[in-house]
Structure 1
Amino acid sequence: MTNAATKAGTQPGTQGRDSGALLQIRNLERRFDVDAGFLESLKFKGGRIVRDTRAVHAVNDISFDVHKGEAVCVVGESGCGKSTVARMVASLLPPTAGSIHYEGQRIDTLKGRALLPIRNKIQMVFQNPYASLNPRMTIGQILEEPTRYHNRGVSTGEIRDKVTQVMQSVGVDPNWAARYPHELSGGQRQRIAIARALTVDPQFIVADEPISALDVSIQAQVLNLMLEMQEQHGITYLFITHDLSVVEHFGTRVVVLYLGSICEVADTRTLFAAPKHPYTKALLSAVPQLKDDRPNHIRLKGEIPTPIDLPSGCPFQTRCPQANDRCRAEKPRGVTQPDGSLVACHAVEEGRTEPGVESGMKEAV
C-alpha cells in the first residue's frame, strides 16, 4: 500500500508526499459553477432578492498515489467524478483546490509552453474513438501531428518512420495511413488512439473508459494491447472504468469513488477477496459470476444525491443500510486496515459491519 493509505484518524494524503510515487494527488477538488452569470445567481428568498451561486461538487478532497509500472483503476458509478479526475491529471482541466505532482514537480499550476515537457510524459486515451479522432485528417496525419509538434527539427522521413513503427506496435497495417477514421471499425480506431498517445513515448497514460464504446469481442483485444504496451515500454496507467470485471484482470490497485469522495483504496486482489466499504461490497455484488448459482446481490435503496447539494456527513449515508447518526453528521476519514487497504467508513472503523453481507460477498467473489 502506498502513502495514500493513512494512519487511523488522519485524512488521506495529509501526512506528506510519497517521494517514491510517480504521481501524487493531494486533497484534490473540482467545482463547476451552475449559475455562471450574475443574473442567474439572483434568487428571491424571504421577500428579498439575494445572490446565491450554486456549484457541482464533482471531486471532493481526494488523495492517492500512483507508482511507476502500476495500473491504478478508478471505479464508481456514472457521475462519481472519475473522468474529472482523469482530465485534471492530464492537465486538461485545472483543479479548484489541492495539488498534483508528477516526479516531484507540481503540474496543476503549469500553463502554456511550461506544460510541453509534461505533455511528452503524460498522454490521454479518450473514451469514444468515434469522437476523439479528427474526421478531416487521415490516419497518417493524425499520428504525425503530435510527433512533429513535440519533436521540432525532426525530418519528415524520421517522423514517418516513427509513425510506421508505432502503427506496427499496436497491430495496425502502416498502409492504413492514407485512410480516414470513418473507414475503420471502433476497435481499429481505438488502436489508432492508443498509437497517437505512444508517438511521443509517454511514461504515463490516462485512459478514460477506453473500451466502453467497443463491442465485447473487441474489448479484450484492446486491453491485451495496453498490457503489451505496459510490458514493452514500462508505461504506467491511470485507468478509468465502471466495469469491475475489467479491473480484476487489468488493475494492480483500485480507487473506489462515490460522489467525488474516496470510499476505499486497495490492491486489486485484496479488494476482490475482502471488500470492506459497504459501497464497494454493493459494486462487487453486481459483477456476474458464472460459478455463482445463488447470487447474493446487494440492492441499494434510493437515488444518488445530486452533487450540487451533497448530503451532510458521509456521502454514502443516504443509501447505506448501516448508517447511523454519526454517519449523518461526520464525514469519515480514511483509515488504514490491517491488510493495507484504506477505508473511509465509520461502520468499518467501529467494527459494526454486517457479518452476513461480508460472508456472502466472499462467496460471490
Structure 2
Amino acid sequence: MSKLLEVKNVDRHFDISGSIVDQLSFKGGKITREKTLVKAVNNVSLDIRKGETLSVVGESGCGKSTLARTVMGLYQPNAGEIHYDGTRIDTLTGRRRRPYRTRMQMVFQDPYASLNPRMTVKQILEEPVRFHNPNLNRKEVRDIILTTMDQVGVNTAWIDNFAHEFSGGQRQRISLARALVLDPEFVAADEPIAALDVSIQAQILNLMMDAQEQRGLTYLFISHDLSVVEHISTRVAVMYLGCLCELADVKELFGNPQHPYSRALLSAIPRLGGQAGGHIRLSGDVPTPINLPSGCVFHGRCPHADERCRTEVPELLTLESGTSVACHGIEEGRV
C-alpha cells in the first residue's frame, strides 16, 4: 500500500508561561526570564498507508490527541513536516489548505461538546456541504445528507431535531455522519467510543469498519481500549510522554511486543482465565511533559535502563519483523 500521510520529526509544544511577570525569576543574583513549555509531541515520525487503520495508544497525556489535531491542522507543529499524498500541508493556510479539509475529516471524543446545540441535524450536516460545494442546489445537498444519515444509522426523520434531543450513541453517529458527508479519504477518530456504553461502542465500531470498506477510508484511530485497538487496527503506534516508542503490525505488537513500555502496557489487559502474575508493574514516578527527562523518556520506569538510556535519546530501529522500536536495550540485544 502506498503512503497517504507522512509525519516527519514533528514537535508540538504549548507555552503556559503566562504573563511576562510570571516568567521572571531570580537566579544567581540576576533576574531572568524563563518560558514554561508543555512538550506534548516530541520528534514523532510515522506514516499512514492508504486504506489502513493506524491506531495510537498510550497513557493519558502521552500526546495522542495532540498528534491527531496537529495532523489535522488544528494545531501548527513547532517543528517537523506533515505530508499528505505527496504534498506538504503543514505550511498551507487559507484557500491553499481548503481542498485538504474535504479530504481529511475528524471525529471528536465528546459527542456532547462537538455538536452545536443551536443547530439541527440538517444544519450541522448541511453547513460543510454548502461551504465546500457552493454549486450544488438544495435538492442535491439534501440527497447527500439523507444518504449519509442512512449509511450511519441515523433515522432521516430526525433531520430537524437538535443535538440535545439525542442519546450519546446517536450523537456520535451524527458526528460520524458530519465527518463522512464530504466523502473524505482520511478520518482521524479521537477516542470516538470512549464516552459510550459498551453495546453502543460495538455499533459505532461496526459503522466505522463498514464505512471504511464501502468508501476506502484510511483511519488514524486513537483509543485507550486495547481490545478495541486489536480488533480494528492494521498497525499500532505506542506513545509515551510525547515520544514514539514502537510502531508495529497489530498481530506482531500484541503477539510479540518489543519495547519495555509496550510490554507493560499490553500486560495490563484483563484476560479471562489468565494466569496471575502476568501484569508488569512499573516502578518510579511518571515524569511531567514540562520537564522531560534526559535520554530515553522511559528510563526512570524501565527495569532495563542503563547509563546510555539516561543520557542518549534512542532512535527508531526497524527490526527484521518490520517493527520499529526506539530502545537502546533492543539495539544492544539485552532486552
Are residues 1:79 and 2:58 paired? no
What's the TM-score, normalizing by structure 1? 0.90
Deviations 1:20-58 (A, max 9, x none): 310010000011112143222111112221111121111
Distance of aligned partners of 1:181 and 1:295 in 2 relative to their CA distance in 1, 3 Å threshold: farther
Partner of 1:189: 171
Deviations 1:243-288 (A, max 9, x none): 1111100000001000111100000000001001000000000111
Of 255, 260, 284, which residue of structure 1 is paired with 2:266?
A: 284
Of 203, 216, 222, which residue of structure 1 is paired with 2:185?
A: 203
Are residues 1:126 and 2:108 paired? yes
Partner of 2:229: 247
Identify unmatched segments of 5+ residues in structure 2. none
Are residues 1:45 and 2:27 paired? yes
Partner of 1:116: 98
Partner of 1:5: none
* C-alpha separation in 1, matches of 2:242 and 2:298: 11
| 1:107-256 alignment, distance < 5 Å | 107-256=89-238
SS at match of 2:187: strand
Q: Which residue identity does 2:111 align to in structure 1?
A: P
Instruction: Work out the number of aligned pairs and report it.
Output: 335
Identity %: 58
- Return the offset for 1:295: 4.7
- Return the offset for 1:176: 0.6
* C-alpha separation in 2, matches of 1:130 and 1:106: 33
RMSD (CA atoms): 1.0
Deviations 1:132-160 (A, max 9, x none): 00001111111111111110121111111
SS at match of 1:179: coil
* C-alpha separation in 1, matches of 2:120 and 2:275: 50
Are residues 1:90 and 2:72 paired? yes
* C-alpha separation in 2, matches of 1:168 and 1:121: 21
Partner of 2:15: 33
Q: Which residue identity does 1:126 align to in structure 2?
A: F
SS at match of 2:95: helix
Are residues 1:352 and 2:331 paired? no
SS at match of 2:213: helix
* C-alpha separation in 2, matches of 1:291 and 1:156: 58
Identify unmatched segments of 5+ residues in structure 1. 3-19, 354-365
What's the TM-score, normalizing by structure 2? 0.98
* C-alpha separation in 2, matches of 1:80 and 1:257: 6
Runs of at least 4 residues off by over 3 Å: none
